[in-house]
Amino acid sequence: MTTSTNNISLEPATRAAFPFTALVGQPQLQRALQLAAIDPGIGGVLISGPRGTAKSTAARALAALLPGAPFVTLPLAASLEQLVGTLNVEDVLRDGQVRLAPGLVARAHGGVLYVDEVNLLPDALVDALLDVAASGVNTVERDGISQQHAARFVLVGTMNPEEGELRPQLLDRFGLSVALANPVDAAQRTAILRARLGFDENPAALADQHAEEQRALSSALVAARAALPRLTWSDEVLNHAAACAIEAGVDGMRADLVMLRAARALAALEGRSEVTVAHVDAVAELALAHRRPEGGAAQPPSTTSAPQQPQQNPQRPQDQQTAAPAPQGDWGAMPAQPEGTTKVQKIAGWPPKKA
């Protein structure tokens, strides 16, 4: 069907999605996206990496893999009302009916909500978005009136670290994270080029080539979602997740919870009947990488109050008894030295004024 405007025929644009199973050299990214698709309560996936590392391609490919899933993109210039929706107060006053003007989170329900350059998004939008992604419920409030609706979607945020970082508080709100790098292996780059050029030349042919794998993976994701409620965590698994979080030195309990939910999703994807310690180990880095303090695991606090100065000349025992005490507080490296006082000479006053 074509549209005619000013005697110009416009052909509707179609954009085929790159097959998810055709992605090359991104096993961790594919695993993180699959786990988030199985359990959206994980809280989404943050993909960090330089330009041209298939971040947006992978997000679109995931949406195409889920049956009937919408793919919604959040623009950087969107307002809070565009994101979460708004209420028509005039309708309430006129006929007492609360009418919701749905936002992007409502449109993304059951699918994928994609945020490109999430590190450039205003903090207020990121906060609201992550709240909805983790809870699966969106609350719209206006003038003392509120309404809630379900909004369960897979949140995928991408960013280029060269353009700025997310605040640690916002990083922690993302469930899983994957850091991509430019491929340096010539054979891998060749495979990526071959797949991309083949898709650009004939998207249908590449889709047919991976159709069977796509159908199998799509069915596995649907089955894993249904199996989640049947899987529980043993005390051994709980203890291991807690130990991993402590060793990484993360703040709060969100890392532990995300690790457990991701391990359960992986066990469901593999068709297992229980969650094991091995499942926790397989997903631990996805949950801990963006929460771990700089420099690795947290270090124990130092027990010394001031650094020791190297001794150039050994002191005799009698010298050690009169050595100056170590500096304390903000006095600096040198101890305070007593100073003598000098009597101030009185200055003669002015002579009395003659009458």
Amino acid (one-letter) located at 156: V
CA 120 centroid distance within chain: 13
pLDDT at residue 75, rounded to an integer: 92
Q: Which residues contact 354 (CB under 8 A, 6 or more apart)?
A: none
Q: Report the helix count and the strand count for the chain, using DSSP H and E.
A: 14, 11
Whether residue 254 lies in the annotated active site: yes
Q: What is the 3-state secondary structure (H, E, C) of 315-342?
A: CCHHHHHCCCCCCCCCCCCCCCCCCCCC
pLDDT at residue 351, rounded to an integer: 55
SS3 244: helix
Rounded-to-5 percentages of helix, strand, coil across the chain: 45, 10, 45
pLDDT in tens, 207-251: 999 999 999 999 999 999 999 999 999 999 999 999 999 999 999
| Integer Cα distance of 72 and 115 in angstroms | 9
Strands 86-87 and 100-101, by their bridges, are antiparallel
> How far from each other are the two terminal CA atoms of the chain, in whole angstroms?
116
Crossing angle for the helix pair 211-227 and 55-65, to the nearest 10 degrees? 70
Instruction: Please pick, among 31, 173, 254, 264, the residue that the annotation labels catalytic.
Output: 254
SS3 115: strand
pLDDT at residue 299, rounded to an integer: 37
| E strand map for 91-183 | 100-101, 112-115, 137-142, 145-150, 154-159, 176-179
Residues of the chain falling short of pLDDT 70:
1-7, 9-14, 91-93, 295-355
Taken in order of first residue, the domains within the chain and their CATH numbers are 15-181 (3.40.50.300), 230-292 (1.10.8.80)
| Integer Cα distance of 30 and 62 in angstroms | 9
| Integer Cα distance of 89 and 134 in angstroms | 28
Computed on alpha carbons and rounded to an integer, the radius of gyration of the chain in Å comes to 31
Residue by residue, DSSP assigns 31-95 as HHHHHHHH-GGG--EEEE--TTSSHHHHHHHHHHHSTT--EEE--TT--HHHHH-EE-HHHHHHH
pLDDT at residue 16, rounded to an integer: 83
Phi/psi at 150 (5° precision): -70, 140
CA 200 centroid distance within chain: 31
For residue 67, what are its two tokens? 């049956």
For residue 20, what are its two tokens? 């998810």
Q: Which residues contact 120 (CB under 8 A, 6 or more apart)?
A: 76, 159, 163, 164
What's the pTM?
0.77
